[in-house]
Amino acid sequence: MSLLVVEQDRTISSQRTLITSLFSDSTELSALKGKLFQKQRAAAQAQAEAGTRSQAPSNRTPSAQVPMTQDAPGSNRNAGKLRKTLPPKPPAGVSDFGDVRRIVKAI
């Protein structure tokens, strides 16, 4: 019985060590991902700023722009989403009308 307790203690210790190692690896990976994301965002922002600076004003006349109209706030909220069509209802069978057990009678 004491041998079993010793083996369980070793197993628990090794699992504790493994969990600690995995947690530190996970923390390190999250930090690296954060740094990579910041670098990518900074590069994209720098590229966007460089793109706006490199564009020289053109000699063309500005085209007529149509202002957006808003009928009601929130009315255009789901304009891009398509609604699913409902499947057609099956025709009512003859037995549906004769089933009086489902009819609720109120006084």
Task: Give Cα 84 to chain centroid, integer Å.
Answer: 21
Quote the CA–CA distance of 104 and 106 in Å, as a whole number: 6
Mind giving me the DSSP string for 83-94? Answer: PPPPPPPPPPPH
Q: Which residues of the chain have pLDDT under 70?
A: 55-80, 92-106
- pLDDT tens for 63-77 read 555 555 555 555 555
Mind giving me the DSSP string for 30-67? Answer: HHHHHHHHHHHHHHHHHHHHHHHHHPPPPSSPPPP-PP
